[in-house]
Structure 1
Amino acid sequence: MFLEGLKSIFHILTNEYDYHRKTNLFSFGQLLLKQVHLDDAEKYYLRLLNEFSDQSENIIQCHNTLGNLTKNKGDYELSIQWFKKAIQINTIENQNLIENYNIIGDLYIKIDDPKRAIEYYNKTLILLIKIFSEDHPELVVCLNNIAIAYKNEKKYHKALEYHEKALTILEKHPLIHQSDIAILHNYIGIIQRHLGYFNLALEHYQYALEICKYSFSSSYIDIAKTLKNMSIVYEDKNELGQSLLCLKKAATIYQDILSPIHPDMTEIEEKIQYILVQLK
C-alpha cells in the first residue's frame, strides 16, 4: 500500500512541479521525518535513491539521510553502511566528509567497537588538521573522542595522551574555553585514577573546581560531577571522611537543582549512606 502511495506522490511531484527541483522531492521526505514516520521515510528515501541514480550530489544526500534515519531507529550497523556509501561518493575533503567520518566513529562507539571508532576519528583528525591547523580548537572534540575510544579499550596511557593534546590546545585560548578546560581536567582526572595516580587525579579535579567557580559558562552540575569524581578517588585512597565530605557537597548542589527522585539524587544519597556505614 505504501509503495502505491509513493507512486502517487511521485506522479504529483513530477507532473505538477519541476521534477529536477530536488527540494520538492526531499521536502516530502523531511516532512515524514518531522512527523516521526521513520519507516515510511526510510521507504521513501530508498525509492528516491533510485530516482537519483545519475546525480551523485542527490545520492549523497539520500545516503546521509538514510544514515541518520537508521541511526535514530537504533540500527547502528545499517547506519554505518549508509554513511560509508556516502563517503565512497563524496571524495572532496570538506566539512561534510569530516562530519561523516566523525559520525561513523560515534556509531562504532555505540556498537562497542572502539578500534574501528579510532580509525574513523583519525580520518576526521587528519582532515581537520588539513583544513585548520595542528593546534586549532576545532580539533579538540575529535582528540577527546579518540581519547574516550582508547579509554574504552582500557589503553589509558593513549587516552591520556590525546586528552592532554586537547588541553594544550585549549589552554592557548583560556578565556574563550574555560568550561571546556574544566571538563578536560575532569577527563584527565578520570584517566589518572584508572592509572592509579590518585593524587594527580585529585589535582586535576581541583583545577576543574577552581575553573568552574569563576566561569560563567560552567554549571552547578559540572561542580557536582567533579565533587563526585573526587569522592571516588578519596574512596580508592581509603580516605572515607574526605569522600563523604565531597559527596555531601555534591548532594547539596543536587538538592537545589534536581528533583528528589532524580536518578543522580538517588544515587548520591545511596552512596552517602554506603560511606556512613563504612565509617562505623
Structure 2
Amino acid sequence: RKTLPEDHSSLASTYNNIGFAYKDTGDYSKALEFYDKALKIDEKTLLPNHPSLATSYNNIGGVYDNMGDYSKALEFYDKALKIEEKTLPPNHPSLAISYNNIGLMYDNMRDYSKALEFHDKALKIYEKTLPPNHPSLATSYNNIGLVYGRMGDYSKALEFYNKALKIQEKTLSPNPPSLAASYNNIGMAYSGMGDYSKALSFLEKTLAIFQKSLPPTHPHIKRALDNIDYVKKKM
C-alpha cells in the first residue's frame, strides 16, 4: 500500500476532518490532538499567512472556546485574525466572524470594553455588507446588548436588544427560540432598570414561546419561570 510522508498536505486535511468529527461528538481532547497534528503540518508546509493556517488556528480556538478555556481560545482566534487582516479585504465576512469570536471571548473573560471594541468592528462590517434585516446583524446587536447589560448599562442594552428584535420579528416565524431569547434579554434589562411590569410582559412572552416549542422539562422553561417569579417578587 502507498503511504504519504508525515508532513504531506493532504494528511493535514484528513487530520482536520477527524478533529472536526471529535469536536462534533464533544470529545475535545481528541479533537485538539488531531487539529494540532494538522497545524504542525500546515506550519511546516505553508507560508506564514496562508488561509489554511488561519482555519487551523480558528479550529483550535473553537475547541478551547467549547471547553471554556477562553484565554487559550483568544490566543488562537487572535493568530487567525492576524493572518486574515493581512490577507483579506477589510469588509470580508470572515473578518467579522473573527471579530465576533474575539468579542465573545473578552465578554466571557469580563473585559467588557475590549468585548465592545471587537463586537463593534464586526457590526461595522455587517452594516456595510449585509441587507438591513440579515440575521447576523440581529446576532451582532444582541451580542453588544448583552455586554452593556453585564456592565449594568440597561438603557444602552435595551437599545441594541430592540434593534435585534425588530429584525427577528420581521424575519422569523412567531415562535422560534431565538425570538424568545430576545424577549428574555429585554425583560431582564427592564428588570435591571426597575420597570417590573414591562419586564413581566416580555418574560411572559418568552415563556409562551418556550412552552409551545420545547418539552415541558426543558431547562429553558424552568429558567423562564424563575425569572418571572423573581420579577413578581420585586413588584
TM-score of the alignment, normalized to the shorter chain, above 0.5: yes
Instruction: Provide closer, same or farther for how the CA distance between residues 173 and 65 of structure 1 changes in structure 2, counting only shifts above 3 A.
Output: closer
Which of 99, 108, 111 in structure 2 is aligned with 1:155? 111
- Larger Rg computed on CA atoms: 1
Say if 1:170 and 1:177, in contact at 8 Å, map to a contact too.
no
Counterpart amino acid of residue 23 in structure 2: K
Query: Could you say which residue in structure 2 is the equivalent of 1:61?
Result: 13
Cα distance in 1 between the residues matched to 2:160 and 2:38: 41
Counterpart amino acid of residue 232 in structure 1: M
After superposition, the C-alpha distances for 1:220-279 in whole angstroms (9 at most, x for unaligned) are 322211110112122222222221111012223333333333332232123223322332
Query: Could you say which residue in structure 1 is the equivalent of 2:58?
Result: 102
Cα distance in 2 between the residues matched to 1:173 and 1:217: 24
Please state how far the C-alpha of 1:216 moved relative to its aligned partner.
5.2
Which residues in structure 2 correspond to 1:39-118 (within 5 Å)? 51-53=3-5, 56-72=8-24, 74-90=26-42, 91-92=46-47, 93-118=49-74
Are residue 206 (structure 1) and residue 158 (structure 2) matched? Answer: no
Structure 2 unaligned residues grouped into runs of 5+: none
TM-score of the aligned structures, taking structure 2 as reference length? 0.85
Structure 1 unaligned residues grouped into runs of 5+: 1-18, 21-50
Say if 2:126 and 2:137, in contact at 8 Å, map to a contact too.
yes
Which residues in structure 2 correspond to 1:165-204 (within 5 Å)? 165-175=121-131, 178-204=134-160
SS at match of 1:64: helix
Say if 2:133 and 2:170, in contact at 8 Å, map to a contact too.
no
RMSD, aligned α-carbons? 2.5
Are residue 128 (structure 1) and residue 84 (structure 2) matched? Answer: yes
Please state how far the C-alpha of 1:95 moved relative to its aligned partner.
4.2
- Decide which moves more: 69-78 or 90-99: 69-78
Counterpart amino acid of residue 180 in structure 1: S
Counterpart amino acid of residue 68 in structure 1: F
TM-score of the aligned structures, taking structure 1 as reference length? 0.73
Counterpart amino acid of residue 216 in structure 2: P
After superposition, the C-alpha distances for 1:53-92 in whole angstroms (9 at most, x for unaligned) are 4561243234324433543564434532432332222124
Instruction: Provide closer, same or farther for how the CA distance between residues 266 and 196 of structure 1 changes in structure 2, counting only shifts above 3 A.
Output: closer
> How many residue pairs end up in the alignment?
231
